[in-house]
Structure 1
Amino acid sequence: MRSFTLRGLTLYLPEAALKGNLERALSSGRYEHHEADALLLHLRQGDRLLDLGAGLGFICALAAGVLGEDAVVGVEAGPETVKLARKNLAANGFPGVKIVRGAVVAAAGEGEVEFGQRPAFWASALKGPEGWPENAEVIRVPARPIGRLLERFRPTVICCDIEGGELSVLVEPLPGVRLVVVETHPQIYGPEGVKRIVEGLSAQGFAAAEGAKADTLVFRRAQAP
Protein backbone atom coordinates (compact mmCIF):
# COMPACT_ATOMS: atom_id res chain seq x y z
CA MET A 1 0.00 0.00 0.00
CA ARG A 2 1.35 3.41 -1.01
CA SER A 3 0.45 6.75 0.53
CA PHE A 4 0.47 10.26 -0.92
CA THR A 5 -0.22 13.60 0.77
CA LEU A 6 -2.24 16.25 -1.04
CA ARG A 7 -3.48 19.48 0.56
CA GLY A 8 -3.00 18.04 4.01
CA LEU A 9 -4.88 14.83 3.22
CA THR A 10 -3.29 11.39 3.04
CA LEU A 11 -4.49 9.03 0.32
CA TYR A 12 -3.75 5.31 0.38
CA LEU A 13 -3.91 2.94 -2.56
CA PRO A 14 -2.29 -0.36 -3.55
CA GLU A 15 0.70 -0.49 -5.89
CA ALA A 16 -1.42 -2.36 -8.43
CA ALA A 17 -3.70 0.70 -8.77
CA LEU A 18 -0.84 2.99 -9.83
CA LYS A 19 -1.47 2.76 -13.54
CA GLY A 20 -0.82 5.27 -16.30
CA ASN A 21 -0.05 8.78 -15.05
CA LEU A 22 -1.73 8.35 -11.68
CA GLU A 23 1.46 8.05 -9.63
CA ARG A 24 2.88 11.18 -11.26
CA ALA A 25 -0.32 13.12 -10.62
CA LEU A 26 -0.44 12.07 -6.97
CA SER A 27 3.26 12.76 -6.36
CA SER A 28 3.10 16.21 -7.97
CA GLY A 29 -0.18 17.21 -6.31
CA ARG A 30 -1.98 17.46 -9.65
CA TYR A 31 -4.47 14.69 -8.89
CA GLU A 32 -7.96 16.21 -9.36
CA HIS A 33 -6.39 19.62 -8.72
CA HIS A 34 -8.64 21.57 -11.08
CA GLU A 35 -11.79 20.25 -9.43
CA ALA A 36 -10.28 20.87 -5.99
CA ASP A 37 -9.36 24.48 -6.82
CA ALA A 38 -12.85 25.21 -8.16
CA LEU A 39 -14.63 23.73 -5.16
CA LEU A 40 -12.46 25.52 -2.62
CA LEU A 41 -13.16 28.75 -4.49
CA HIS A 42 -16.94 28.36 -4.46
CA LEU A 43 -17.99 26.18 -1.48
CA ARG A 44 -19.76 28.02 1.31
CA GLN A 45 -21.22 27.08 4.66
CA GLY A 46 -24.58 25.39 4.30
CA ASP A 47 -23.72 23.70 1.01
CA ARG A 48 -24.23 19.97 0.49
CA LEU A 49 -21.91 18.24 -1.96
CA LEU A 50 -22.73 15.26 -4.17
CA ASP A 51 -19.51 13.90 -5.71
CA LEU A 52 -20.25 11.80 -8.80
CA GLY A 53 -17.26 9.53 -9.35
CA ALA A 54 -15.72 9.70 -5.88
CA GLY A 55 -12.56 7.77 -6.80
CA LEU A 56 -10.12 7.67 -3.88
CA GLY A 57 -12.34 9.95 -1.78
CA PHE A 58 -10.08 12.98 -2.19
CA ILE A 59 -12.74 15.49 -3.26
CA CYS A 60 -15.14 14.18 -0.61
CA ALA A 61 -12.50 14.57 2.12
CA LEU A 62 -11.55 18.04 0.91
CA ALA A 63 -15.19 19.16 0.96
CA ALA A 64 -15.82 17.53 4.34
CA GLY A 65 -13.05 19.68 5.79
CA VAL A 66 -15.02 22.75 4.72
CA LEU A 67 -18.64 21.65 5.12
CA GLY A 68 -18.50 18.82 7.67
CA GLU A 69 -18.79 15.13 6.90
CA ASP A 70 -22.59 15.01 7.16
CA ALA A 71 -22.85 17.43 4.22
CA VAL A 72 -20.90 15.26 1.75
CA VAL A 73 -21.95 12.20 -0.26
CA GLY A 74 -19.91 10.40 -2.90
CA VAL A 75 -21.03 7.92 -5.56
CA GLU A 76 -18.54 5.41 -6.95
CA ALA A 77 -19.14 2.40 -9.18
CA GLY A 78 -16.02 0.26 -8.73
CA PRO A 79 -16.38 -2.12 -5.76
CA GLU A 80 -12.69 -1.97 -4.81
CA THR A 81 -12.55 1.78 -5.34
CA VAL A 82 -15.49 2.19 -2.97
CA LYS A 83 -13.46 0.39 -0.30
CA LEU A 84 -10.46 2.65 -0.96
CA ALA A 85 -12.59 5.80 -0.75
CA ARG A 86 -14.07 4.72 2.57
CA LYS A 87 -10.63 3.80 3.91
CA ASN A 88 -9.17 7.15 2.90
CA LEU A 89 -12.06 9.11 4.36
CA ALA A 90 -11.79 7.28 7.68
CA ALA A 91 -8.01 7.71 7.74
CA ASN A 92 -8.41 11.47 7.32
CA GLY A 93 -11.01 11.82 10.07
CA PHE A 94 -14.18 11.75 7.98
CA PRO A 95 -15.73 8.30 8.54
CA GLY A 96 -19.21 9.81 8.40
CA VAL A 97 -19.00 10.75 4.72
CA LYS A 98 -21.39 8.45 2.88
CA ILE A 99 -20.10 6.60 -0.19
CA VAL A 100 -22.86 5.08 -2.32
CA ARG A 101 -21.81 2.17 -4.54
CA GLY A 102 -23.15 2.32 -8.07
CA ALA A 103 -22.96 4.01 -11.45
CA VAL A 104 -24.73 7.33 -11.96
CA VAL A 105 -27.21 7.16 -14.85
CA ALA A 106 -29.79 9.47 -16.37
CA ALA A 107 -32.68 7.00 -16.60
CA ALA A 108 -35.04 6.44 -13.69
CA GLY A 109 -35.72 3.01 -12.25
CA GLU A 110 -34.06 0.45 -10.04
CA GLY A 111 -31.75 -2.37 -11.06
CA GLU A 112 -28.20 -2.82 -12.27
CA VAL A 113 -26.10 -1.58 -15.16
CA GLU A 114 -23.00 -2.96 -16.86
CA PHE A 115 -19.78 -1.14 -15.94
CA GLY A 116 -16.31 -1.44 -17.47
CA GLN A 117 -13.86 -1.89 -14.58
CA ARG A 118 -10.27 -1.18 -15.68
CA PRO A 119 -6.96 -1.87 -13.88
CA ALA A 120 -6.54 1.91 -13.94
CA PHE A 121 -9.58 2.47 -11.72
CA TRP A 122 -9.85 6.16 -12.59
CA ALA A 123 -10.49 5.30 -16.24
CA SER A 124 -13.30 2.82 -15.56
CA ALA A 125 -16.57 3.78 -17.19
CA LEU A 126 -19.94 2.87 -18.60
CA LYS A 127 -20.00 1.75 -22.22
CA GLY A 128 -19.31 4.74 -24.46
CA PRO A 129 -20.01 5.52 -28.12
CA GLU A 130 -16.87 3.58 -29.14
CA GLY A 131 -17.65 0.55 -26.96
CA TRP A 132 -16.03 -0.55 -23.73
CA PRO A 133 -12.80 1.06 -22.50
CA GLU A 134 -9.65 -0.87 -23.35
CA ASN A 135 -8.86 -3.76 -20.97
CA ALA A 136 -12.18 -3.33 -19.17
CA GLU A 137 -13.72 -6.17 -17.20
CA VAL A 138 -17.48 -5.83 -17.59
CA ILE A 139 -19.22 -6.16 -14.24
CA ARG A 140 -22.71 -5.33 -13.01
CA VAL A 141 -23.21 -2.59 -10.44
CA PRO A 142 -26.26 -0.83 -8.97
CA ALA A 143 -27.74 1.86 -11.22
CA ARG A 144 -28.06 5.21 -9.43
CA PRO A 145 -30.41 7.53 -11.36
CA ILE A 146 -29.40 11.15 -10.90
CA GLY A 147 -32.98 12.18 -10.12
CA ARG A 148 -33.20 9.80 -7.19
CA LEU A 149 -29.81 10.88 -5.87
CA LEU A 150 -30.99 14.50 -5.93
CA GLU A 151 -34.22 13.63 -4.13
CA ARG A 152 -32.43 11.61 -1.48
CA PHE A 153 -29.44 13.85 -0.69
CA ARG A 154 -30.63 17.30 -1.85
CA PRO A 155 -27.20 18.63 -2.86
CA THR A 156 -26.54 22.27 -3.61
CA VAL A 157 -23.22 21.46 -5.31
CA ILE A 158 -22.32 18.67 -7.73
CA CYS A 159 -18.78 17.64 -8.61
CA CYS A 160 -18.77 15.25 -11.56
CA ASP A 161 -16.00 13.09 -13.02
CA ILE A 162 -17.59 9.97 -14.52
CA GLU A 163 -15.57 9.38 -17.68
CA GLY A 164 -18.17 10.41 -20.23
CA GLY A 165 -21.32 9.64 -18.26
CA GLU A 166 -21.78 13.35 -17.64
CA LEU A 167 -22.99 13.76 -21.21
CA SER A 168 -26.36 12.23 -20.32
CA VAL A 169 -26.48 12.91 -16.58
CA LEU A 170 -25.90 16.67 -16.53
CA VAL A 171 -28.55 17.46 -19.11
CA GLU A 172 -31.15 16.07 -16.70
CA PRO A 173 -33.01 18.51 -14.39
CA LEU A 174 -30.87 19.50 -11.39
CA PRO A 175 -33.34 21.09 -8.94
CA GLY A 176 -31.79 22.72 -5.90
CA VAL A 177 -28.26 22.69 -7.31
CA ARG A 178 -26.49 26.05 -7.45
CA LEU A 179 -23.00 24.95 -8.59
CA VAL A 180 -21.68 22.27 -10.95
CA VAL A 181 -17.99 21.41 -11.33
CA VAL A 182 -17.47 18.89 -14.10
CA GLU A 183 -14.46 17.31 -15.74
CA THR A 184 -15.52 16.93 -19.35
CA HIS A 185 -14.13 14.20 -21.62
CA PRO A 186 -14.08 15.55 -25.18
CA GLN A 187 -11.88 12.64 -26.24
CA ILE A 188 -14.98 10.46 -25.75
CA TYR A 189 -17.76 12.62 -27.23
CA GLY A 190 -15.95 15.48 -28.99
CA PRO A 191 -16.62 19.22 -28.82
CA GLU A 192 -20.23 18.57 -29.79
CA GLY A 193 -20.72 16.68 -26.55
CA VAL A 194 -19.17 19.47 -24.50
CA LYS A 195 -21.48 21.92 -26.25
CA ARG A 196 -24.46 19.73 -25.36
CA ILE A 197 -23.51 19.80 -21.68
CA VAL A 198 -23.05 23.58 -21.71
CA GLU A 199 -26.37 24.12 -23.48
CA GLY A 200 -28.20 21.72 -21.17
CA LEU A 201 -26.95 23.54 -18.08
CA SER A 202 -27.56 26.95 -19.65
CA ALA A 203 -31.18 25.99 -20.27
CA GLN A 204 -31.52 25.44 -16.51
CA GLY A 205 -30.15 28.89 -15.67
CA PHE A 206 -26.49 27.99 -15.15
CA ALA A 207 -23.72 30.23 -16.48
CA ALA A 208 -19.96 29.75 -16.72
CA ALA A 209 -18.25 30.70 -13.46
CA GLU A 210 -14.73 31.43 -12.25
CA GLY A 211 -12.40 28.47 -11.77
CA ALA A 212 -12.67 26.65 -15.10
CA LYS A 213 -9.35 25.17 -16.26
CA ALA A 214 -8.57 22.90 -19.21
CA ASP A 215 -11.37 20.29 -19.45
CA THR A 216 -12.79 21.14 -16.02
CA LEU A 217 -15.75 23.50 -16.34
CA VAL A 218 -17.59 25.41 -13.61
CA PHE A 219 -21.22 26.54 -13.76
CA ARG A 220 -23.14 28.61 -11.22
CA ARG A 221 -26.83 29.36 -10.94
CA ALA A 222 -27.66 32.61 -9.20
CA GLN A 223 -30.69 31.20 -7.43
CA ALA A 224 -31.38 27.48 -7.24
CA PRO A 225 -35.03 26.66 -7.98
Structure 2
Amino acid sequence: MKIRLEAEDVKIVQKCLSTAVCSNEQQQALHEIMAKAEAGIEFDTEMSDHIANTCRDIALSLEASDLYCAQQLMSLALAIRPSGPLLQKKTHEYAKLLQVFESGSTECNGIKLAFGENLPLPLLKALANGSYEQHEAKLLMQFIGPEDRVLELGAGIGYMGSLAMTYCKPLTYTAYEANPALLPLIMSNMERNRVQFEARNTLLADTKASRDFYVTPAFWASSLLEPDSEPYQKVTVAAVDKNVVMDELKPTALVVDIEGGEAEFFAGLDLTTVNKIIIEIHPAVLDDATLSTLYASLLNKGFKLNFSASSKVVLYWYR
Protein backbone atom coordinates (compact mmCIF):
# COMPACT_ATOMS: atom_id res chain seq x y z
CA MET A 1 0.00 0.00 0.00
CA LYS A 2 1.37 3.39 -0.99
CA ILE A 3 0.56 6.79 0.52
CA ARG A 4 0.96 10.36 -0.64
CA LEU A 5 1.40 13.35 1.66
CA GLU A 6 -1.22 16.03 1.11
CA ALA A 7 -0.73 19.80 0.86
CA GLU A 8 -1.77 20.20 4.50
CA ASP A 9 0.93 17.74 5.52
CA VAL A 10 3.53 19.78 3.66
CA LYS A 11 2.34 22.91 5.47
CA ILE A 12 2.91 21.19 8.82
CA VAL A 13 6.49 20.36 7.87
CA GLN A 14 7.08 23.88 6.53
CA LYS A 15 5.77 25.43 9.73
CA CYS A 16 7.97 23.28 11.91
CA LEU A 17 10.99 24.19 9.81
CA SER A 18 10.23 27.90 10.16
CA THR A 19 9.32 28.04 13.85
CA ALA A 20 10.78 25.09 15.74
CA VAL A 21 14.32 24.89 17.05
CA CYS A 22 15.50 21.74 15.27
CA SER A 23 18.98 20.30 14.99
CA ASN A 24 20.72 20.36 11.61
CA GLU A 25 20.05 16.64 11.23
CA GLN A 26 16.36 17.13 12.00
CA GLN A 27 16.08 20.03 9.58
CA GLN A 28 17.66 17.91 6.84
CA ALA A 29 15.21 15.08 7.51
CA LEU A 30 12.24 17.44 7.34
CA HIS A 31 13.54 19.03 4.13
CA GLU A 32 13.82 15.60 2.53
CA ILE A 33 10.25 14.73 3.52
CA MET A 34 8.94 18.05 2.22
CA ALA A 35 10.82 17.78 -1.10
CA LYS A 36 9.45 14.31 -1.81
CA ALA A 37 5.93 15.34 -0.80
CA GLU A 38 6.02 18.44 -3.03
CA ALA A 39 7.21 16.27 -5.91
CA GLY A 40 4.09 14.14 -5.49
CA ILE A 41 6.06 10.98 -4.76
CA GLU A 42 4.03 8.06 -3.44
CA PHE A 43 5.69 6.30 -0.51
CA ASP A 44 5.79 2.55 -0.04
CA THR A 45 5.38 0.93 3.39
CA GLU A 46 9.07 1.07 4.25
CA MET A 47 9.39 4.75 3.35
CA SER A 48 6.11 5.57 5.10
CA ASP A 49 7.42 3.97 8.29
CA HIS A 50 10.62 5.98 7.94
CA ILE A 51 8.65 9.25 7.64
CA ALA A 52 6.41 8.33 10.58
CA ASN A 53 9.45 7.49 12.70
CA THR A 54 11.19 10.72 11.70
CA CYS A 55 8.16 12.86 12.60
CA ARG A 56 7.73 10.95 15.87
CA ASP A 57 11.36 11.34 16.93
CA ILE A 58 11.49 15.04 16.09
CA ALA A 59 8.20 15.59 17.93
CA LEU A 60 9.57 13.90 21.05
CA SER A 61 12.68 16.08 20.94
CA LEU A 62 10.60 19.25 20.51
CA GLU A 63 7.90 18.64 23.13
CA ALA A 64 9.65 20.61 25.86
CA SER A 65 10.45 23.61 23.66
CA ASP A 66 7.67 23.77 21.05
CA LEU A 67 4.58 21.82 22.00
CA TYR A 68 2.58 23.08 19.02
CA CYS A 69 5.04 21.73 16.45
CA ALA A 70 5.47 18.54 18.43
CA GLN A 71 1.71 17.98 18.38
CA GLN A 72 1.46 18.61 14.64
CA LEU A 73 4.35 16.30 13.77
CA MET A 74 3.05 13.55 16.07
CA SER A 75 -0.41 13.87 14.49
CA LEU A 76 1.17 13.57 11.04
CA ALA A 77 3.05 10.46 12.14
CA LEU A 78 -0.22 9.01 13.44
CA ALA A 79 -2.00 9.78 10.18
CA ILE A 80 0.71 7.85 8.33
CA ARG A 81 0.68 4.94 10.81
CA PRO A 82 -2.70 4.94 12.61
CA SER A 83 -2.04 1.68 14.46
CA GLY A 84 1.07 2.94 16.31
CA PRO A 85 0.33 2.74 20.09
CA LEU A 86 3.00 5.29 21.05
CA LEU A 87 1.76 7.66 18.36
CA GLN A 88 -1.80 7.31 19.65
CA LYS A 89 -0.72 7.87 23.24
CA LYS A 90 1.47 10.90 22.53
CA THR A 91 -1.05 12.52 20.17
CA HIS A 92 -3.70 12.28 22.90
CA GLU A 93 -1.25 13.56 25.52
CA TYR A 94 -0.22 16.56 23.42
CA ALA A 95 -3.85 17.45 22.70
CA LYS A 96 -4.60 17.41 26.43
CA LEU A 97 -1.51 19.48 27.24
CA LEU A 98 -2.38 22.09 24.62
CA GLN A 99 -5.95 22.27 25.86
CA VAL A 100 -4.75 22.92 29.41
CA PHE A 101 -2.02 25.30 28.25
CA GLU A 102 -4.37 27.38 26.12
CA SER A 103 -7.07 27.56 28.77
CA GLY A 104 -4.61 28.47 31.54
CA SER A 105 -6.53 26.28 33.95
CA THR A 106 -7.08 22.68 34.96
CA GLU A 107 -8.63 20.55 37.68
CA CYS A 108 -6.99 18.28 40.27
CA ASN A 109 -9.04 16.25 42.75
CA GLY A 110 -12.05 18.37 41.93
CA ILE A 111 -10.14 21.60 42.65
CA LYS A 112 -10.16 24.18 39.85
CA LEU A 113 -6.77 25.75 39.29
CA ALA A 114 -5.52 28.69 37.25
CA PHE A 115 -1.76 28.56 36.88
CA GLY A 116 -0.39 31.43 34.77
CA GLU A 117 1.86 31.38 31.71
CA ASN A 118 5.15 29.96 30.41
CA LEU A 119 5.19 26.79 32.50
CA PRO A 120 7.94 24.25 31.76
CA LEU A 121 6.73 20.93 30.39
CA PRO A 122 7.08 18.78 33.57
CA LEU A 123 4.90 21.18 35.56
CA LEU A 124 2.38 21.49 32.72
CA LYS A 125 2.19 17.69 32.48
CA ALA A 126 1.61 17.34 36.23
CA LEU A 127 -1.20 19.89 36.12
CA ALA A 128 -2.75 18.34 33.00
CA ASN A 129 -2.72 14.73 34.19
CA GLY A 130 -3.73 15.47 37.79
CA SER A 131 -0.49 14.32 39.39
CA TYR A 132 0.42 17.83 40.63
CA GLU A 133 1.32 17.58 44.34
CA GLN A 134 -0.48 14.21 44.43
CA HIS A 135 1.33 12.81 47.47
CA GLU A 136 0.85 15.95 49.54
CA ALA A 137 -2.83 16.03 48.53
CA LYS A 138 -3.32 12.41 49.58
CA LEU A 139 -1.75 13.02 53.01
CA LEU A 140 -3.70 16.23 53.49
CA MET A 141 -7.06 14.55 52.86
CA GLN A 142 -6.09 11.53 54.95
CA PHE A 143 -4.84 13.27 58.07
CA ILE A 144 -6.09 16.87 58.28
CA GLY A 145 -9.45 17.26 59.99
CA PRO A 146 -11.92 19.89 61.24
CA GLU A 147 -10.10 20.14 64.56
CA ASP A 148 -6.88 21.38 62.96
CA ARG A 149 -5.32 24.81 62.62
CA VAL A 150 -3.09 24.50 59.54
CA LEU A 151 0.00 26.53 58.67
CA GLU A 152 1.34 26.02 55.13
CA LEU A 153 4.73 27.13 53.87
CA GLY A 154 5.11 27.25 50.11
CA ALA A 155 1.50 27.78 49.04
CA GLY A 156 2.28 27.85 45.30
CA ILE A 157 -0.98 28.56 43.47
CA GLY A 158 -3.14 27.73 46.48
CA TYR A 159 -3.93 24.11 45.65
CA MET A 160 -3.38 22.68 49.14
CA GLY A 161 -5.33 25.46 50.80
CA SER A 162 -8.26 25.10 48.39
CA LEU A 163 -8.17 21.31 48.78
CA ALA A 164 -8.13 21.53 52.58
CA MET A 165 -10.94 24.06 52.81
CA THR A 166 -13.07 22.06 50.34
CA TYR A 167 -12.69 18.59 51.85
CA CYS A 168 -11.00 18.74 55.28
CA LYS A 169 -12.55 21.99 56.56
CA PRO A 170 -9.96 22.79 59.28
CA LEU A 171 -10.65 25.44 61.90
CA THR A 172 -8.13 27.77 60.23
CA TYR A 173 -5.75 27.62 57.28
CA THR A 174 -2.95 30.14 56.87
CA ALA A 175 -0.67 29.91 53.85
CA TYR A 176 2.68 31.64 53.32
CA GLU A 177 4.04 32.12 49.80
CA ALA A 178 7.24 34.07 49.12
CA ASN A 179 6.73 34.55 45.37
CA PRO A 180 4.68 37.76 45.02
CA ALA A 181 3.57 36.81 41.49
CA LEU A 182 1.61 33.85 42.87
CA LEU A 183 -0.63 35.78 45.27
CA PRO A 184 -3.12 36.83 42.54
CA LEU A 185 -3.34 33.18 41.42
CA ILE A 186 -3.96 32.03 45.00
CA MET A 187 -6.78 34.56 45.35
CA SER A 188 -8.20 33.57 41.95
CA ASN A 189 -8.16 29.89 42.86
CA MET A 190 -9.92 30.59 46.14
CA GLU A 191 -12.66 32.32 44.17
CA ARG A 192 -12.87 29.51 41.60
CA ASN A 193 -13.40 26.97 44.39
CA ARG A 194 -15.54 29.22 46.61
CA VAL A 195 -13.26 28.85 49.61
CA GLN A 196 -11.44 31.28 51.87
CA PHE A 197 -8.16 31.03 53.73
CA GLU A 198 -5.48 33.52 54.67
CA ALA A 199 -2.56 33.95 52.25
CA ARG A 200 0.49 35.98 53.25
CA ASN A 201 3.33 37.10 50.98
CA THR A 202 6.14 36.89 53.52
CA LEU A 203 8.84 34.46 54.59
CA LEU A 204 9.12 32.81 57.98
CA ALA A 205 12.67 33.11 59.27
CA ASP A 206 14.69 33.40 62.47
CA THR A 207 14.36 37.17 62.58
CA LYS A 208 12.30 39.94 61.06
CA ALA A 209 14.22 41.09 57.99
CA SER A 210 14.18 41.02 54.20
CA ARG A 211 15.53 38.05 52.28
CA ASP A 212 16.47 37.30 48.69
CA PHE A 213 14.14 34.83 47.02
CA TYR A 214 14.78 33.16 43.65
CA VAL A 215 11.79 32.84 41.33
CA THR A 216 12.09 30.19 38.59
CA PRO A 217 9.86 29.55 35.54
CA ALA A 218 8.55 26.44 37.31
CA PHE A 219 6.95 28.10 40.33
CA TRP A 220 7.23 24.86 42.33
CA ALA A 221 11.06 25.16 42.23
CA SER A 222 11.34 28.78 43.46
CA SER A 223 13.42 28.94 46.63
CA LEU A 224 15.56 30.82 49.10
CA LEU A 225 18.48 28.90 47.62
CA GLU A 226 20.03 30.33 44.45
CA PRO A 227 19.59 27.88 41.52
CA ASP A 228 22.69 26.42 39.88
CA SER A 229 21.58 26.76 36.28
CA GLU A 230 18.05 27.45 35.15
CA PRO A 231 16.86 31.03 34.51
CA TYR A 232 15.60 32.81 37.59
CA GLN A 233 14.62 36.22 38.92
CA LYS A 234 15.85 37.46 42.28
CA VAL A 235 13.26 39.31 44.34
CA THR A 236 13.40 40.74 47.85
CA VAL A 237 10.73 39.46 50.20
CA ALA A 238 9.89 40.62 53.72
CA ALA A 239 10.46 38.05 56.47
CA VAL A 240 8.85 37.67 59.87
CA ASP A 241 9.99 35.81 62.98
CA LYS A 242 8.79 32.24 62.57
CA ASN A 243 8.26 31.64 66.29
CA VAL A 244 6.23 34.83 66.64
CA VAL A 245 3.94 33.44 63.92
CA MET A 246 3.83 30.03 65.60
CA ASP A 247 2.71 31.72 68.83
CA GLU A 248 0.13 33.80 66.95
CA LEU A 249 -1.44 30.96 64.97
CA LYS A 250 -0.82 28.05 67.33
CA PRO A 251 -0.99 25.55 64.44
CA THR A 252 -1.74 21.91 65.07
CA ALA A 253 -0.59 20.92 61.57
CA LEU A 254 2.18 22.07 59.24
CA VAL A 255 2.28 21.62 55.47
CA VAL A 256 5.79 22.42 54.25
CA ASP A 257 7.15 22.41 50.70
CA ILE A 258 9.82 25.09 50.40
CA GLU A 259 12.39 23.61 48.04
CA GLY A 260 15.29 22.97 50.38
CA GLY A 261 14.39 25.66 52.94
CA GLU A 262 12.90 23.07 55.28
CA ALA A 263 16.12 22.52 57.27
CA GLU A 264 16.46 26.23 58.07
CA PHE A 265 12.77 26.53 58.90
CA PHE A 266 12.67 23.66 61.40
CA ALA A 267 15.93 24.65 63.13
CA GLY A 268 14.90 26.20 66.44
CA LEU A 269 11.21 26.10 65.57
CA ASP A 270 8.73 26.03 68.47
CA LEU A 271 6.53 23.01 67.77
CA THR A 272 4.63 23.09 71.06
CA THR A 273 1.16 23.10 69.47
CA VAL A 274 1.99 20.96 66.42
CA ASN A 275 1.10 17.26 66.24
CA LYS A 276 0.97 16.71 62.44
CA ILE A 277 3.58 17.56 59.80
CA ILE A 278 3.31 16.99 56.04
CA ILE A 279 6.68 17.85 54.52
CA GLU A 280 8.41 17.40 51.21
CA ILE A 281 12.15 16.98 51.59
CA HIS A 282 14.65 17.83 48.86
CA PRO A 283 17.68 15.49 48.94
CA ALA A 284 18.92 16.95 45.65
CA VAL A 285 19.45 20.20 47.55
CA LEU A 286 20.08 19.12 51.15
CA ASP A 287 22.77 16.57 51.98
CA ASP A 288 22.33 13.48 54.15
CA ALA A 289 23.79 15.12 57.26
CA THR A 290 21.41 18.08 57.04
CA LEU A 291 18.35 15.89 56.54
CA SER A 292 19.48 13.54 59.32
CA THR A 293 19.72 16.51 61.68
CA LEU A 294 16.18 17.54 60.71
CA TYR A 295 14.87 14.01 61.32
CA ALA A 296 16.67 13.78 64.66
CA SER A 297 15.18 17.07 65.83
CA LEU A 298 11.65 15.82 65.08
CA LEU A 299 12.30 12.46 66.76
CA ASN A 300 13.68 14.25 69.82
CA LYS A 301 10.46 16.23 70.06
CA GLY A 302 8.36 13.07 70.11
CA PHE A 303 7.35 12.87 66.45
CA LYS A 304 7.07 9.55 64.64
CA LEU A 305 7.39 9.00 60.90
CA ASN A 306 4.42 7.24 59.34
CA PHE A 307 6.30 5.00 56.95
CA SER A 308 3.24 3.39 55.37
CA ALA A 309 1.65 6.73 54.44
CA SER A 310 4.84 8.54 53.42
CA SER A 311 6.47 8.39 50.00
CA LYS A 312 10.18 8.68 49.30
CA VAL A 313 10.29 12.47 49.70
CA VAL A 314 6.81 13.44 50.94
CA LEU A 315 6.59 12.52 54.59
CA TYR A 316 3.96 12.47 57.30
CA TRP A 317 5.18 12.97 60.88
CA TYR A 318 2.84 12.80 63.88
CA ARG A 319 2.77 12.62 67.67
Could you tell me the TM-score, scaled by structure 1's length?
0.89
Give the counterpart of 1:51 among 134, 142, 152. 152
What does residue 219 of structure 2 align with? 121
What does residue 30 of structure 1 align with? 131
Distance 1:77 1:162 in 2: 9
What does residue 117 of structure 2 align with? 15
Q: Contact (CA 8 Å) 2:152, 2:175: kept in 1 or not?
A: yes
What does residue 32 of structure 2 align with? none
Q: CA RMSD in A?
A: 1.7
Distance 1:2 1:154 in 2: 36
Q: Contact (CA 8 Å) 1:52, 1:74: kept in 2 or not?
A: yes
What does residue 100 of structure 1 align with? 200
What does residue 106 of structure 2 align with? 4
**Residues 80, 69 of structure 1: alpha-carbon distance in 2 compared, 3 angstrom cutoff:** farther
The offset of 1:70, in angstroms, is 5.7
Distance 1:52 1:133 in 2: 24
Matched, 1:187 2:281: no
Distance 1:51 1:117 in 2: 19
Q: Contact (CA 8 Å) 2:149, 2:170: kept in 1 or not?
A: no
Q: Contact (CA 8 Å) 2:154, 2:257: kept in 1 or not?
A: yes
What does residue 136 of structure 1 align with? 232
Alpha-carbon deviations, 1:129-178, whole Å to 9, x = none? xx666322111111133212211221110000001110111232212001
Q: Contact (CA 8 Å) 2:148, 2:171: kept in 1 or not?
A: no
Q: Contact (CA 8 Å) 1:49, 1:71: kept in 2 or not?
A: yes
Distance 1:20 1:177 in 2: 36
Gaps of 5+ in 1: none
Give the counterpart of 1:145 among 241, 266, 269. 241
What does residue 297 of structure 2 align with? 200
Q: Contact (CA 8 Å) 1:113, 1:140: kept in 2 or not?
A: yes
Distance 1:144 1:8 in 2: 34
Moved more, 196-205 or 177-186: 196-205
Distance 2:198 2:171 in 1: 8
The offset of 1:32, in angstroms, is 0.7
Give the counterpart of 2:265 among 166, 169, 183. 169
Give the helix-richer structure, 1 or 2: 2
Gaps of 5+ in 2: 1-102
Q: Contact (CA 8 Å) 1:173, 1:204: kept in 2 or not?
A: no
What does residue 309 of structure 2 align with? 211
Read off the aligned partner of 2:204 and give its amino acid letter.
Answer: V
Q: Contact (CA 8 Å) 1:117, 1:139: kept in 2 or not?
A: yes
Moved more, 64-73 or 197-206: 64-73
Secondary structure of the structure 2 residue equivalent to 1:15: coil
Q: Identity percentage over the alignment?
A: 28
Give the strand-richer structure, 1 or 2: 1
Q: Contact (CA 8 Å) 1:77, 1:102: kept in 2 or not?
A: yes
Alpha-carbon deviations, 1:21-64, whole Å to 9, x = none? 10111112111111111111111221011110000100001111
Distance 1:119 1:169 in 2: 24
Q: Contact (CA 8 Å) 1:49, 1:73: kept in 2 or not?
A: yes
Distance 2:296 2:121 in 1: 33
Read off the aligned partner of 1:9 and give its amino acid letter.
Answer: I
Secondary structure of the structure 1 residue equivalent to 2:191: helix
Q: How many residues align?
A: 215
**Residues 43, 70 of structure 1: alpha-carbon distance in 2 compared, 3 angstrom cutoff:** closer
